[in-house]
Amino acid sequence: MYMGIFKVVLGIGMLGLVSFIVACYVSPQFFLKTSYALVKYEFPGLPEFSSRSLSKLSDDEKADYIVVDVRTPQERGVSVIAGAIDNEYFERNLLSYQDKKIIVYCTIGYRSGYYTQELRQKGFDAYNLSEGILGWAYVDGMLVDPQGQVTSQVHVYSRPWNLALKHHIAVFKFGEQL
């Protein structure tokens, strides 16, 4: 009897796993949202800001915000969210941003979650950009290259993060498209 129950549970588990894999393959956005749900689990209660909300800010509203990129220089060498600064520049000019709302991002939200948490502990009004630069790309947010030119390339951190971004070219290593 126990063997029969075990087989049923194992079968349901395998069906669930296969269904999840198929859903991620068919809908990369499903994988992105599922991955970010794990980030949220790691940082319960951490305030977040959605890519859609960021993209809808008016120019007047944008004056109250600063967007900080915590990715590596190699990742930023492919593209950044237009108007973003890197965390090194931010750290050198902390006093300039005390009265700003700080939106922090990385590829998916994990590294930026840690940095957002650190900034909040220091008293900053900081938010994690939900789904990171990949979420930004999904809402067709503007990306620029190091020369400030609009680009469709986005660094995806590693090969498994190639989420078939619509209207964007995924780059894993600088200059190497997936």
Answering whether pTM is above 0.85, one says no
Average pLDDT over every residue of 79-86: 97
Tell me whether strands 143-144 and 80-81 are parallel, antiparallel or unpaired.
antiparallel
What is the end-to-end Cα distance of the chain in Å, rounded?
49
Domains contained in the chain, CATH given: 2-177 (3.40.250.10)
Question: What pLDDT shows up at residue 74?
Answer: 92
CB 145 within 8 A of CB 153: yes
Tens of pLDDT along 94-150? 999 999 999 999 998 999 999 999 999 999 999 999 999 999 998 999 999 999 999
Question: What pLDDT shows up at residue 30?
Answer: 66
Burial class (CB in 10 A: 0-12, 13-18, 19+), 73: exposed
Average pLDDT over every residue of 28-57: 84
Lookup: tokens for 1? 């009897």
